Structure 1
Amino acid sequence: MSDLSTLTRLCPPPASPPPPTDWPSVEEGLGQTLPADYKNLIDTYGSGGFWDFLRLYQPHAPTEWVDITGPMPTVIRSQLEEDRAQQKNPVPCTPQHLFAMGVTDNGEHLFWITDPEDSPEQWTIAINEARGPRWFTYHGTLTQFLTALLTKTINVPMFPDDLQALTPLFQPDP
């Protein structure tokens, strides 16, 4: 069973498929190839949130705050670079290798560590504590990460303690 099949079994996607995404155009605009599992995940679930808590950035999202092609990934990277220059909150790698791809309702940001840059299938996931210095890293795809959260095989220390006790749910945007 594929990772996406496992995830959709645990947390069903919306009954109506989302509109198709022109991935070559998105990647050209970003100047970056994105992981195949991410593209499949977005093509399956569309815009919305897991547990009404975790939102993935994606192309053409309802607001610029969760649009992967919008200003947020660049704004967040700039903040991390400034923090690093001022020797504030530690960063697990060079900020240039952090690509913001999600956010929680508490303000934690999810990133890909884009190293090696030309091998998106090998990228690591990193999560930064909201307004804090802690980082959590996960070595696997985004789909594997979500599945691990749903099956309670990982615990992200900065996520709410009761998150994994909630019924798996994906709530599409209206």
Structure 2
Amino acid sequence: MEFGEITARLSPPILPKEIDDLSWDAVEGELGVELPAGYKEFVATYGTGSIGKFLWIFNPASKNRSLNGEAIRYFQSSYTELKQDFPADYTRPTFPALNSFLPWAVTDNGDTLVWILCDKPPNSWKVGVMASDQVAEEIYESDFVEFIVQLLDQEIDSKILPRQFLDMKKTFQSF
């Protein structure tokens, strides 16, 4: 699925915010992994903001620590600590191991949208939704672009994401 499927459904802002200082090479170097092209194109096209005033896409160049690389590191370190304290409940490996997760968005409810790392190229990583307690998770057979299109088309079925958000027509709000 092409990125244009997203822009056909979700109007991008005329002037996306906080993209001027974005260096994907630096971000990927710090993380130690290449990121999916669709995600990078999304951030470059939309900048910092939310879908439906509920789903906040991380922008590594954002000045908002809740939405930039610090947020990504926070979710990873929190999971690592929880896994150390409660290994029976937190069975997923820690980043950057195969089958670990890498956060790319957060909801107002504290749920986290992640990629599940595998031995395939980043554009084929599956999307997961982790509940705010990081125990319950849902894995979708979709990459980033497919998941966003399905979300915009109201085709995502979830026990974690609220039905009100899933069923609403969504717009992008710059922050």
1:137-156 deviation digits (Å, cap 9, x = unpaired):
11222121111011122222
What pairs up with 1:1-174 in 2 under 5 angstroms? 3-18=2-17, 19-20=19-20, 21-67=22-68, 69-70=69-70, 72-85=71-84, 86-87=86-87, 89-91=89-91, 93-96=92-95, 97-116=100-119, 119-131=121-133, 133-173=135-175
1:47-78 deviation digits (Å, cap 9, x = unpaired):
100000001111111311110x22x2222222
In structure 2, C-alpha distance between the alignment counterparts of 1:119 and 1:10, rounded to whole Å: 26
Question: Does the residue aligned with 2:138 lie in a helix, a strand or coil?
Answer: strand
In structure 2, C-alpha distance between the alignment counterparts of 1:149 and 1:88, rounded to whole Å: 32
Aligned residues of 1:149 and 1:155 also touching (Cα < 8 A):
no
In structure 2, C-alpha distance between the alignment counterparts of 1:132 and 1:95, rounded to whole Å: 12
Question: Does the residue aligned with 1:84 lie in a helix, a strand or coil?
Answer: helix
Task: Provide structure 1 residue ranges, at least 5 long, that are not aligned to the other structure.
Answer: none
In structure 1, C-alpha distance between the alignment counterparts of 2:157 and 2:128, rounded to whole Å: 13
Task: Provide structure 2 residue ranges, at least 5 long, that are not aligned to the other structure.
Answer: none
Scaled by the length of structure 2, what TM-score is found? 0.85
The percent of aligned pairs where both chains have the same amino acid is 24
Scaled by the length of structure 1, what TM-score is found? 0.86
In structure 2, C-alpha distance between the alignment counterparts of 1:59 and 1:79, rounded to whole Å: 19
Number of aligned positions between the proteins: 168
Aligned residues of 2:154 and 2:168 also touching (Cα < 8 A):
no
Q: 1:56 to 1:17 in 2, by over 3 A?
A: closer
In structure 1, C-alpha distance between the alignment counterparts of 2:30 and 2:134, rounded to whole Å: 31
Decide which moves more: 104-113 or 121-130. 121-130
